[in-house]
Amino acid sequence: MRKKVSVIGAGNVGASAAQLVAQASLADVVLFDIAGGIPQGKALDIAEACPLWNSSVSVKGTNSYADTKDSDMVVITAGFPRKPNMSRDDLLHANADVVKAVSGAIAKTSPNAIVIVVTNPMDVMAQLAWKTTEFSCKRVIGMGGILDAARLRTFLSWELNVSPEDIETIVLGGHGDQMVPLPRFTTVKGIAITEFLKKKTIDSLVHRTRNGGAEIVSLLKSGSAYYAPAAALVQMIKSILFDEKRMFPCAAYLNGEYGMKDIYLGVPVILGREGVERVVEIKLTKEERAQLKESCSTVKKLVKKLLI
């Protein structure tokens, strides 16, 4: 039987993710939104592209949670994106209301689903979704690090004039501005980038990556990034649906790992059929540890604001 993926929020990120899932025939897709007509229209358009993609999955748009019933995976992209000069944190309260409502509905209609949270501020929203659904923390994951890593890989590939495919990196900490890069674990086909680039150059690429989301927001004027976020999401979905056990940086619940307790934060995890199958712990330098601690306390402050 084909798997079922429900995407909550038929906006830019949600619709792009639905498209990629359908195009790659990964699963049947249900696209849900509160706005009438939008999910139906976009789903119909995607369904009509399926013959051209040689894909036979079903794609349905809806305003009813009943259609999402018993999904294997649910992706939460519902909420509001950033506007220029707005931080992800400005979105906190507006998006918390949305994520609470969505998570409550999912818990009832898809009690066995694995949930990926994209809505920003993502680390906090992942914790909120976990609390609201009361699912095992293995089954609630935040998408952020994989996108930050992809942005850094892009900038490095331009700087080094090599394929981004051959660049590997891992980032820790909160999504976006709070990310903790790990240049010593960033390689071109296994060769550390510190062999090729001066610290100053690496720092400037890291700086651009931290502000990668804001750079796009300021260019678009309205709305935020969605092609790369959707692509990042689909790598996570695929690793879970096909039990690939790939390692990605994702926001996962930490209960002692990396010295952090009761918090969702970006760390390397193995994604498989169970969701987060394990958190991969690596030994950090003093400086990296300090950066991660700072990132954690920023996320914790927001969690406190929401009284999660």
Please give the structure tokens belonging to residue 125: 């929203």
Beta bridge partners of 168: 187
Beta bridge partners of 263: 254
Residues in the interface with ligand APR (CB under 6 A) total 28
Query: Among residue numbers 71 through 130, which ones bind ligand APR (CB under 6 A)?
Result: 77-79, 81-82, 91, 95, 98, 101-102, 118-120
Of 77 and 132, CB closest to ligand APR: 77
226 touching ligand APR, by CB under 6 A:
yes
64-66-71 Cα angle (round to 5)? 115
Tell me which amino acid residue 113 is: A
Please give the structure tokens belonging to residue 127: 């914790």
Q: For residue 143, which of 31, 15, 235, 37 has the smallest C-alpha distance?
A: 235
49 touching ligand APR, by CB under 6 A:
no
Q: Which of 175, 183, 234, 236 is catalytic?
A: 175
34 touching ligand APR, by CB under 6 A:
yes
14 touching ligand APR, by CB under 6 A:
yes
Of 70 and 97, CB closest to ligand APR: 97
Shortest separation between residue 79's beta carbon and ligand APR, angstroms: 4
Shortest separation between residue 101's beta carbon and ligand APR, angstroms: 5
12 touching ligand APR, by CB under 6 A:
yes
Of 226 and 253, CB closest to ligand APR: 226
Residue 175 known to be catalytic: yes
Q: Which residues bind ligand APR (CB under 6 A)?
A: 8-14, 33-35, 38, 77-79, 81-82, 91, 95, 98, 101-102, 118-120, 223-224, 226, 229
Catalytic residue annotation: 175
